[in-house]
Amino acid sequence: MGNTNTNTGELIDRVFCTDLLRFLCREAIKRTVSPWAALSNTLDQIALAIPYEVAIQKVRVGNGPIPLNTISMIVGPPGAGKGISSTPILSLDPTTTVFISEDGWIRQSLGDVLRNPITTASAPAMAGAYIEYVPPRRAKAEMKDAEGNVTQAAESAVRGHTRQTAGAAYFRWTEVEELAEKTARGDALSSELRKLWVCEPIGTYTKDAEKRLMTRAGEYRAVVSIHTQPRKAGGGLVDEDGGLGSRWVFFSADFEVPDGMPMPRFEDELGNQDLTLPDFDGEITVESSIDREMFEDRLHKRFQDGRNKHRNLRRLKLAALFAVMHGSTDVTRRWWDVAGAVLEHSDAVHEHILAEQVAAEEEVSLRRGEHQAIRREGEASRDSKVLAKTIERIPEVIERKCAKLGRSPIPPSYVMQTLTATQKRHYDAAIKILCEQGAVRMNSKGEVALREDD
């Protein structure tokens, strides 16, 4: 299995280009963790902490504010460190509130979300991460006088209904076989993930309120992360037709010390750093030159191949997360450039996944061919043994049948009666060989006799 890393000094320098990002890179190396995987988990944490009401402002080629829902894939061989990369190096306050219900009774914190990642292979269950059904009940109502005495009491029926119980959900898969299988065969989960990425309504709307699980557009935050091996990231997960595969950002989990960085030592002291969110008093703004660039790219039909059809939208979301990481709500050219470098890394990992899948298919084909060759050899060996046994048996049968019938030659059916099913399939070949050897003769009618009976 090849390496998914792209730890060139130039690319590392372009991405990990601030004091904060350089700190993240150094600390990941000290922990023998890929800086790219550590970066992916940090961006996930930041996206989950941003209130779902906060979105990127509408751009020229967009149809509304852009939600910060993200989907990413951390890719590496077994033991690469995909799991340990989730230990935070840059941390947000886990008590940060990400959701409060309308009645104020339900409060969700960032720590709640990170401690309880959701793994599901069901599309309706994704909506169920945010919505629950409240069954019908009887409610008592009382009227009191000025002194507080109950003057009238009554009961009323409260109809069953759904209510939102969460504003953010962290969907994370560490075993992707079932997910890949479902997306490969066009399961609803693939379309649900695509809708989730742009914060469209997800779930199922039914006439029966008890079975209705559906979130409203723009009213939830979702972060999707998959930890996988290159050869398991198949099916609809990495398709090239502008579908789900064009929305992923891929990160390498392969640990490798970047060019120009010292090797880590066991004695190195590990560090952590707290992050502080900016004040979100509106939308995340986008520098006009970036908006113009996106317009020009669409006008001139750049990035029209399957995997790049959503490239600028992925890049804009990444740039917004980098800005928030550094305490800003303004997407500037600096963060746009950093996001572009991350996508270069993502492209390299994506290419590696596709190459590994081609290699896996070739290996399967080769093994299939080897198995077929072995089977043919085995069949040929068995056939050879059966043929030899048939050649040995036919003269004995002819001699016995001719003596019993008092005639020679005899019809071939008399001989065939005493042969086994497999021997019968080799009768013609055996007779030909016996005739060539001079042990048996056969007339124009196909009747046979021993040559010594002439």
36 or 97: whose pLDDT is higher?
36
pLDDT at residue 384 greater than cutoff 80: yes
Gap between the Cα atoms of 74 and 224, Å rounded = 11
pLDDT at residue 1 greater than cutoff 60: no
Task: Report which residue type is found at 99.
Answer: F
User: Within 10 A of 129 (CB to CB), how many other CB atoms are there?
Assistant: 23
Here the tokens at position 71 are 């989907």
Gap between the Cα atoms of 214 and 195, Å rounded = 12
Residue 409 pLDDT: 87
pLDDT at residue 337 greater than cutoff 80: yes
Residue 2 pLDDT: 46
Mean pLDDT of 327-347: 94
Residue 173 pLDDT: 82
Asked if 236 and 210 count as a contact pair (C-beta separation under 8 A), the reply is no
Query: Could you read off the pLDDT of 229-245 as tens digits, one per residue?
Result: 887 776 556 665 657 77
Gap between the Cα atoms of 409 and 76, Å rounded = 75
Here the tokens at position 253 are 């989990």
Mean pLDDT of 75-93: 81
Query: Could you read off the pLDDT of 408-418 as tens digits, one per residue?
Result: 888 888 888 88
Asked if 203 and 213 count as a contact pair (C-beta separation under 8 A), the reply is yes
Q: Which of 57-71, 122-136, 253-267 has the highest mean pLDDT?
A: 57-71
What are the helix (H) ranges across 174-276? 177-184, 188-197
Task: Report which residue type is found at 52.
Answer: Y
Residue 4 pLDDT: 55
pLDDT band at 437 (very low <50, low <70, confident <90, very high): confident
> How does strand 131-134 pair with strand 161-164?
antiparallel
Rg (C-alpha) for the chain, rounded Å, is: 36
Gap between the Cα atoms of 35 and 13, Å rounded = 12
Asked if the 380-453 domain carries CATH number 3.30.160, the reply is no
Query: Could you read off the pLDDT of 172-186 as tens digits, one per residue?
Result: 887 676 666 666 655
Mean pLDDT of 395-406: 86
Residue 238 pLDDT: 62
Query: Could you read off the pLDDT of 127-172 as tens digits, one per residue?
Result: 888 887 666 666 666 666 677 775 666 655 556 667 777 888 898 8
Window from 180-194, 252-266, 347-361 with minimum mean pLDDT = 180-194
pLDDT at residue 38 greater than cutoff 70: yes
Q: Which of 135, 217, 207, 222 is nearest to 172 (CA)?
A: 222
Residue 255 pLDDT: 85
Q: Which of 115, 85, 110, 90 is nearest to 99 (CA)?
A: 110
pLDDT at residue 300 greater than cutoff 60: yes
Provide the greatest CA pair distance for the chain. Answer: 134
pLDDT at residue 448 greater than cutoff 70: yes
Gap between the Cα atoms of 286 and 284, Å rounded = 7
Here the tokens at position 407 are 């005639």
Domain boundaries, the chain: 9-130+165-365, 380-453
Mean pLDDT of 186-202: 79
pLDDT at residue 14 greater than cutoff 90: yes
Tell me which long-range contacts 387-393 makes (C-beta under 8 A, separation of at least 24). Answer: 387/426, 387/429, 387/430, 389/423, 390/419, 390/423, 390/426, 390/427, 390/429, 390/430, 391/430, 391/433, 391/434, 393/418, 393/419, 393/423
Task: Quote the pTM value.
Answer: 0.74
Query: Could you read off the pLDDT of 320-336 as tens digits, one per residue?
Result: 999 999 999 999 999 99
Window from 25-34, 50-59, 444-453 with minimum mean pLDDT = 444-453
Considering the chain, what percentage of its residues have pLDDT values greater than 70?
Answer: 83
Side-chain-facing half-sphere of 392: CA atoms under 13 Å: 6
